A and B are shown apart, each in its own frame.
Chain A
């Protein structure tokens, strides 16, 4: 009897020890594949791209190191300079206008208007479209012989002219228009959520003190939405720097290469022109640009958090 009785307890003890061990290790085991995948898929390849940017890799990777020659070539390339300048124009305008429109729309929607849900959905829906669809639709709208200009001409306003899409000096602004159309609803949603989280008693108190509505928003509510600004800028900056599909769908970088962005440049050189070294160098500069923007921002934001 005794040994029979002992056995279950022994099994139970052993299995409970196993359970403990499993419990301790399970989270790590579950998370491990993700970590490994991220480690290889993101940081590993980042490193590899970095290494390739110092080689003369042509259409397959090679390991003949040439120092900074690819970066020197990049700096001399007229097309890269155009791409960088375009990113500055596109990124600056895109982030700025999106924030402005998003904030204004959110404030208007926050005034307890009728049919708010429907209106909110209408503004938010462009975000659900893929950039390819957005780009194609805007290409049709802005094409002078097909879209807006033709419509105006057909309606009798024959002096109307809007040919930015085919003008190499202005085409980049049409990309901004399409991107703003797509993303400002999303910024609005972020801000609307933020505004709903603001304690309404603050507003009532400010009103009692005689502050007008614009002043309340400008001085009290918007400053309290700093974290929302922070996340919006983060998301928008990402979209701006990695923008590729929108340009490909709208202009394919044209007319000429006047709407090239660094991502388009990188793709063209790495995959179609067999210049993997040069493409990697441009990818590294893009990474550098993101880090240069984000690290100080993250640093200042996170440090202030700690003081709170």
Chain B
């Protein structure tokens, strides 16, 4: 790690010795993987806003692999001393980049724009390293949503379940009517997304945080966790047999077509419903995942800002950071992406009912402590520990004779080995 720091110092020194460059508009290079649909439109809007402020926008879009490909390119660029101004990095990865000394402080912008007042502390903590902002949050996704097809529910004569016990009752009735109660794709991250919701319902926000943020072994290796696993197994028993390897949007399609009644998925699922020209609240319903009403599992996309050398570019970078959090961009971007603004002071009039409900819970849970980072989306823990949990959870789901007690031990061992 010292090598990189030395490298950067060398770069900084050489830059200082260079004659001052001729005055030019700043260039801001942004690494992102918003290349499709509403996301691409959102990125284009940001580009336009930056250009209106007189800066040059250099697009550095790397599609594919949920950002894996982009990360590989970013590592190469950063190590060779030529990082982009901003890169789409989220969750605990921000801290890892900051520890290596690549990121720059945004505190001057944060102070003048009063970020600490705008962003709930749970989220600004993720954006900070050693007390200074090094990244800007773009949006907030709620992960613990239940997406419901109302026609199917009506046909089976059931209401939206609000607790896990109700969910089991409702699911039994749906099954008897010949519907698939829960649409799901058997991929590790989707298994973890459902587990995330069940764990929150079963443990409550406090123990959830202890288990997945602090990795408190008293919670992880406990009977409570065993109970989480047995409830989780019960929830997963309402998934059809062919779920293995299915993509999340295919599962959403099953809800849209009325083959399945419900899906537990983050609010990016809304994009699929919108693409099918359905209206929230009428053609499809959004409700908190069973047992998690009033609680909010957040998944925040963010841009980490890298250390640059040219003054004009640094100015452009700061302008980018400011623009991202401005209400205009927040509204435009989040309407396209299905998420909600990260600022709690926004007027939600222009958003649909699901986003309004999401914002309401976001505000109230930020007050009463029901706001928790989603471990299944990298907001609660490092990618290594997250991966270890994924392995245990997905192995449990796909095991032919799942054993909650044994799996709890495995979970504890897996987390321990990665700490």
For A144, what are the chain B residues with a Cβ–Cβ distance below 8 Å? 241-242
Are A257 and B395 neighbours in the complex by a CB distance under 8 Å? yes
For B186, what are the chain A residues with a Cβ–Cβ distance below 8 Å? 166, 254-255
Q: Please, which residue of chain B has its CB at the minimum distance from the CB of A77? A: B417
For A145, what are the chain B residues with a Cβ–Cβ distance below 8 Å? 240, 242
Q: Please, which residue of chain B has its CB at the minimum distance from the CB of A62? A: B1
Docked Cα-Cα span, A58 to B383, in Å, equals: 10
Are A168 and B243 neighbours in the complex by a CB distance under 8 Å? no
Asked if A79 lies at the interface with its beta carbon under 8 angstroms from chain B, I say yes
CB distance from A6 to the nearest CB of B (A): 58
Docked Cα-Cα span, A149 to B25, in Å, equals: 62
Of the listed stretches A11-19, A183-191, A266-274, name the one at the interface; the rest are far from the partner chain.
Answer: A266-274
Number of interface residues of B (CB under 8 A): 36
With A78-B410, A254-B398 known as contacts, the answer to whether A60 contacts B79 (CB < 8 A) is yes
Segment 245-281 of A: residues with Cβ below 8 Å from B: 251-252, 254-258, 268-269, 271-275
- Cβ-defined partner of A166 (8 Å) among B75, B78, B241: B241
Number of interface residues of A (CB under 8 A): 36
Segment 152-170 of A: residues with Cβ below 8 Å from B: 163, 165-169
For B96, what are the chain A residues with a Cβ–Cβ distance below 8 Å? 58-59, 274
For A252, what are the chain B residues with a Cβ–Cβ distance below 8 Å? 187, 245
Q: Please, which residue of chain B has its CB at the minimum distance from the CB of A260? A: B391
Asked if B188 lies at the interface with its beta carbon under 8 angstroms from chain A, I say yes
Are B75 and A255 neighbours in the complex by a CB distance under 8 Å? no
- Cβ-defined partner of A251 (8 Å) among B71, B100, B240, B245: B245
Q: Please, which residue of chain A has its CB at the minimum distance from the CB of B391? A: A79
Asked if B72 lies at the interface with its beta carbon under 8 angstroms from chain A, I say yes
Docked Cα-Cα span, A166 to B395, in Å, equals: 13
Are B75 and A59 neighbours in the complex by a CB distance under 8 Å? yes
Docked Cα-Cα span, A79 to B93, in Å, equals: 23
Are A257 and B387 neighbours in the complex by a CB distance under 8 Å? no
Docked Cα-Cα span, A139 to B246, in Å, equals: 11
Asked if B60 lies at the interface with its beta carbon under 8 angstroms from chain A, I say no
Segment 36-95 of A: residues with Cβ below 8 Å from B: 58-60, 62-63, 73, 76-79
For B386, what are the chain A residues with a Cβ–Cβ distance below 8 Å? 273
Docked Cα-Cα span, A198 to B241, in Å, equals: 52
| Interface 1/0 per residue, A205-225 and B, CB below 8 Å | 000000000000000000000
Asked if B244 lies at the interface with its beta carbon under 8 angstroms from chain A, I say yes
Docked Cα-Cα span, A144 to B246, in Å, equals: 12
Are B394 and A254 neighbours in the complex by a CB distance under 8 Å? yes
Are B395 and A78 neighbours in the complex by a CB distance under 8 Å? yes
| Interface 1/0 per residue, B55-99 and A, CB below 8 Å | 000000000000010011001001100000000000001001000
13 example contacts (A-B, Cβ-Cβ < 8 A) are as follows: A77-B417, A139-B245, A169-B400, A252-B187, A254-B187, A254-B244, A256-B395, A256-B399, A268-B387, A271-B71, A272-B68, A273-B383, A275-B384
Where the two chains meet, the residues of A that have a C-beta atom closer than 8 Å to any C-beta of B are 58-60, 62-63, 73, 76-79, 139, 143-146, 163, 165-169, 171, 251-252, 254-258, 268-269, 271-275
Which 7 A-B pairs rank lowest in CB-CB distance, beginning with the nearest?
A256-B398, A166-B244, A255-B398, A145-B242, A273-B387, A256-B394, A168-B398
